[in-house]
Amino acid sequence: MDILKSFAHPEELLALFRFKLGGCDAVIPKYDYGTMSPSMKVCLELLVRTSRSFAAVIQALDEELRGAVCNFYLVLRALDTVEDDMSIPNEVKVPMLKNFHHNLLDPDWKFMDSKDKDAVVLQEFPHISKEFRALPEKYRDVIWDVCAKMGNGMTVFLERKVDTLEEWDEYCHYVAGLVGIGLARLFSASGLEESSLGMDTALANRVGLFLQKTNIIRDYLEDLNDDRIFWPKAVWSKYRPDIGDFAKPEYQQEALACLNELITNALELIPSSLHFMSQLHNQSVFNFVAIPQVMAIATLERCYNNPKVFSGVVKIRKGEAVRMMMGSSSFDKVKAIMKHFVVQIKARIPESDPHSKQTHSLCQKALSLCDTSQQYSTSSIYPPLYVSMGLMLSAIAYNYWSQIGQWYEDLL
């Protein structure tokens, strides 16, 4: 029960409650079910099923871009599902990934044999490809191009593990950097953002790298249990000969040093993330980009020097997430949130950490870029206790009375 966890954080109750009421300026879906084609309806359902809260941010994008990004997301999800499916042998998987983009032009292509949790996007692929073919050419070109490059890139790391930091960047480029590049090009193509944004591929790449590196760092234990390793060997092998040792309590010191080194590497991307966001003009695009970036910095803060990364799941509370999502509506606000988390990391750098100096200077650099008069503090808007109690009662009651149903439930 997320409401109960957030009771110790009254400011989150307020956010959860406002969110439940839909009184949030950043993430209101603009459904128009009546005039929608059947394949579009299927795509929307797939989107909500596979991405939960992120679906809402896609839905909030302005008109033409919404359809393009929704389609891009589902096509990427399908490709990702093929890459992830351990039941497909590599001899089958390699040609499937390399040729995946051609499926977009084939009205009948689907794949019914996946055992993956997201297999439904492959089973329903004809609806996704139909929507793709209905898109304006300027969007189709981008999705096609990214799909071809990503499919090919994924095959590079099917047999080979990530070793050097350069290879870490290369792997993240294929699975996330290309997404950043594709999105920047879609934003430009829509006319909602300047054409220069879509042309700076190095910058958009780094926005994607920031998200993916954060995911890889956070998912250490989950990936280890699935027999998958995305932490770069050149880094972890400095601390232990076997990466599995980090999950053993006797090697906690080594595990934390390695974790902190990788987080320090990810922190290098903050200036690029801020620079990318500083160039956005459209409000819906801004929210769409800023929310995942803010979640990533919050996740890095939660993970930094945290032994729980090696024993369980490190999660952002839903109330916290909702509060950040609602607070990410302007560049000044985003800088204030970033600053809040970077300050927390900086305060927790152990003196004995082998990379403490580097971490410190990267925090310092990020803070200089986050200089703003906006405030994001967890104490300034504490409502009086009776207001919190009232909000909690209302929120619980709302849970029972709400006929809006599963959609918002999935969100929280």
State the residues that interact with ligand D9A by CB under 6 A. 51-54, 69, 72-73, 76, 175-176, 179-180, 183-184, 204, 207-208, 211-212, 288-289, 292
Q: Which of 100, 251 has the CB closer to ligand D9A?
A: 100
Active-site position among 72, 100, 125, 288: 288
Q: Which of 79, 259 has the CB closer to ligand D9A?
A: 79
Terminal alpha carbon distance of the chain: 10
CB-based burial label for 237 (10 Å; 0-12, 13-18, 19+): middle
Q: CB of 233 within 8 A of CB of 277? A: no
Q: Which of 201, 358 has the CB closer to ligand D9A?
A: 201
d(CA 395, CA 233): 47
Please indicate whether residue 348 is annotated as part of the active site: no
Nearest to 194 by CA among 276, 253, 125, 268: 276
Active-site position among 66, 77, 206, 218: 218
CB of 77 to ligand D9A, least distance (A): 7
Q: Which of 113, 409 has the CB closer to ligand D9A?
A: 409
CB of 92 to ligand D9A, least distance (A): 23
CB of 58 to ligand D9A, least distance (A): 7
Q: Which of 225, 361 has the CB closer to ligand D9A?
A: 225
Alpha-carbon distances, residue 48 vs 62, 74, 411 (angstroms)? 18, 10, 9
Q: Which of 179, 309 has the CB closer to ligand D9A?
A: 179
CB of 159 to ligand D9A, least distance (A): 21
Identity of the residue numbered 146: V
Please indicate whether residue 218 is annotated as part of the active site: yes
Sign of the alpha-carbon dihedral angle for 383, 387, 388, 392: negative
Residue 116 sits at φ, ψ, to 5 deg, of -65, 155
d(CA 378, CA 381): 7
CB of 357 to ligand D9A, least distance (A): 29
Q: Which of 45, 245 has the CB closer to ligand D9A?
A: 45
Active-site position among 171, 230, 286, 304: 171
Alpha-carbon distances, residue 255 vs 220, 307, 375 (angstroms)? 11, 8, 34
d(CA 23, CA 19): 6
CB of 293 to ligand D9A, least distance (A): 8
CB of 334 to ligand D9A, least distance (A): 13
Q: CB of 288 within 8 A of CB of 61? A: yes
Please indicate whether residue 228 is annotated as part of the active site: yes
Nearest to 57 by CA among 241, 262, 249, 292: 292
Please indicate whether residue 66 is annotated as part of the active site: no
CB contact set of 290 (below 8 Å; sequence gap of 6+)? 277, 328, 329, 334
CA angle 320, 324, 326 (to 5 degrees): 120
CB of 192 to ligand D9A, least distance (A): 13
d(CA 409, CA 391): 18
Identity of the residue numbered 129: S
Q: CB of 276 within 8 A of CB of 289? A: yes
Q: Which of 120, 391 has the CB closer to ligand D9A?
A: 120
Residues known to be catalytic: 171, 218, 228, 288
